[in-house]
């Protein structure tokens, strides 16, 4: 592991903790990627790993997908960024608005994190309210309220200064006005939304939050959430940054959720940085209006850069209903195999997920809530040792996040995952 060890030392000299972003595996050191080849990642020491991470679920077609590489190469000779709009952003916008039912209008940014921020701004501007309800354990980006304080402050009863946010639609919105609820708990959601109706701008919901266990929403939960939000004029923001990869029309369409705003990222950039916020023409109108005073200002030096736009369009054109069907069949088969192997060994492991996504849990029963998915230190250690074992078997499985398939993976590749899991359980009992 000589090159990895060298990079590990250099990384620690320049990055706090040795890395510039969270890595899925640091044990005994991060896997330093040298290149990707379809379903596989090759590290700097020439280890070849079936990549079930795909850059945190970004790559639907695996690494180095030829049509994307060719389109990007052709584009590079024309320049990489302009402050002017290009035909490429319109083409990707047309593709996305034509296939995602709740997205009539769209704006592009650079990351999912940014897109969530813009969706929250839009919801506050549209409703004139400030609070946001969200679900415990769900991840929506790692950021602070970057604009807090930019527009002055107001003092609370104790004289403490609270930052004021910059929304023309909701001039008194203050930072950190957040209500945290339990996913799939329809009773609690009805009560909380009803009691806070006059101050809630939106409910922010990932239809299958990965960090909270990758647990499917129940139909009853979606229906009652939709009804109570609609009754009180509270917008629904679907965060599909990760789960858009579930189907051709996205995850909301799949689970019967009809969001007012929808946030996307990851797969829609074909392997390049991207984020997007879309929604009904009525709500998205807050981004339009007079050039000098839209309700919500949106900048972004690299927003809608042609490289991401072209890569995203080519990747999404290749993401056909047939491709999603095949990934779903493979995902169903793998999830069933893993669950059966656990049962055969009478091992406390279960599987959640849908379509091309799955998560293994060190629990006898598949968890049905965020609380049930939470791991004891011992369970977390079991997942790390599974991930380390699989790595030695040539498989890259994130130990604390959603794993995913990519279209170049064959049934035989996935059988290797099942075989390696079987071997782990046989040797760790």
| Interacting residues with ligand PMP between 274 and 303 (CB under 6 A) | 275
From 158-166, 194-202, 234-242, 379-387, give the range in contact with ligand PMP by CB under 6 A: 234-242
Strands (E), 102-234: 105-109, 131-135, 153-155, 161-163, 178-181, 200-205
CB of 84 to ligand PMP, least distance (A): 25
Identify which of residues 182 and 239 has a Cβ nearer to ligand PMP in the complex.
Answer: 239
Query: Site for ligand PMP (CB under 6 A): which residue of 50, 103, 116, 405?
Result: 116
117 binds ligand PMP (CB under 6 A): no
Identify which of residues 131 and 401 has a Cβ nearer to ligand PMP in the complex.
Answer: 401
265 binds ligand PMP (CB under 6 A): yes
User: In 3-state terms, what secondary structure has residue 81?
Assistant: coil
- Alpha carbon distance 195, 193 (integer Å): 6
Identify which of residues 38 and 273 has a Cβ nearer to ligand PMP in the complex.
Answer: 273
- Alpha carbon distance 131, 199 (integer Å): 6
CB of 179 to ligand PMP, least distance (A): 18
Q: Are the C-beta atoms of 134 and 181 separated by less than 8 Å?
A: yes
CB of 402 to ligand PMP, least distance (A): 8
Query: Site for ligand PMP (CB under 6 A): which residue of 56, 108, 349, 370?
Result: 56
359 binds ligand PMP (CB under 6 A): no
Q: Are the C-beta atoms of 407 and 61 separated by less than 8 Å?
A: yes
Query: Site for ligand PMP (CB under 6 A): which residue of 36, 38, 62, 112?
Result: 112
Query: Site for ligand PMP (CB under 6 A): which residue of 92, 166, 189, 241?
Result: 241
From 95-103, 195-203, 235-243, 391-399, give the range in contact with ligand PMP by CB under 6 A: 235-243
- Alpha carbon 29 to its chain centroid, in Å, reads 25
- Alpha carbon distance 41, 48 (integer Å): 6
113 binds ligand PMP (CB under 6 A): yes
- Alpha carbon distance 231, 197 (integer Å): 9
CB neighbourhood size of 125 (10 A): 23
245 binds ligand PMP (CB under 6 A): no
Using CB positions, name the residue nearest to ligand PMP.
112
CA proximity to 350, closest of 332, 363, 335: 363
CA proximity to 175, closest of 229, 115, 134, 120: 120
Q: Are the C-beta atoms of 115 and 270 separated by less than 8 Å?
A: no
Identify which of residues 304 and 341 has a Cβ nearer to ligand PMP in the complex.
Answer: 304
**Segment (H or E) for 401:** none
Write out the residues near ligand PMP by the rule CB under 6 A.
56, 111-113, 116, 139-141, 206, 239, 241-242, 265, 275
């Amino acid at each position: 592991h000589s090159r990895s060890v060298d990079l590990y030392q250099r990384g620690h000299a320049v990055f706090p903790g040795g890395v510039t972003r969270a890595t899925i595996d640091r044990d005994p050191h991060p896997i330093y990627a040298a290149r990707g080849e379809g379903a596989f990642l090759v590290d700097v020491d020439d280890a070849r790993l079936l990549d079930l991470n795909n850059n945190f679920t970004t790559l639907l077609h695996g690494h180095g997908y030829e049509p994307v590489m060719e389109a990007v190469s052709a584009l590079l000779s024309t320049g990489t960024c302009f402050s002017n709009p290009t035909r490429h952003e319109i083409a990707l916008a047309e593709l996305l608005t034509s296939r995602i039912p709740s997205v009539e209008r769209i704006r592009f940014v650079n990351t999912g994190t940014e897109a969530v921020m813009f969706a929250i701004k839009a919801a506050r501007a549209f409703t004139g309210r400030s609070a946001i309800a969200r679900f415990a354990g769900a991840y929506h980006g790692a950021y602070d309220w970057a604009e807090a304080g930019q527009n002055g402050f107001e003092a609370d009863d104790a004289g403490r200064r609270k930052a004021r946010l910059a929304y023309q639609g909701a001039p008194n919105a203050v930072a950190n006005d957040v209500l945290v609820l339990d996913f799939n708990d329809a009773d609690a959601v009805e009560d909380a939304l009803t009691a806070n109706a006059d101050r809630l701008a939106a409910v922010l919901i990932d239809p299958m939050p990965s960090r909270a266990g990758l647990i499917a929403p129940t139909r009853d939960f979606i229906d009652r959430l939709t009804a109570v939000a609609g009754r009180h004029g509270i917008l629904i923001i679907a965060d599909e940054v990760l789960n858009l990869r579930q189907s051709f029309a996205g995850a909301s369409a799949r689970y019967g959720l009809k969001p007012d705003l929808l946030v996307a990222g990851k797969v829609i950039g074909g392997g390049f940085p991207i984020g997007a916020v879309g929604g009904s023409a009525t709500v998205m109108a807050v981004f339009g209006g007079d050039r000098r005073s839209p309700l919500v200002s949106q900048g972004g030096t690299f927003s809608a850069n042609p490289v991401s736009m072209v890569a995203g369009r080519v990747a999404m054109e290749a993401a056909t209903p047939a491709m999603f069907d095949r990934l779903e069949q493979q995902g169903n088969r793998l999830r069933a195999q893993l669950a059966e192997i656990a049962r055969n060994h009478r091992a406390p492991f279960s599987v959640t997920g849908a379509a091309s996504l799955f998560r293994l849990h060190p629990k006898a029963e598949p968890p049905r809530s965020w609380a049930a998915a939470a791991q004891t230190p011992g369970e977390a250690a079991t997942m790390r040792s599974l991930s380390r074992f699989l790595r030695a078997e040539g498989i890259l499985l994130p130990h604390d996040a959603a794993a995913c398939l990519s279209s170049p993976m064959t049934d035989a590749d996935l059988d290797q995952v099942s075989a390696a899991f079987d071997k782990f359980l046989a040797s760790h009992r």
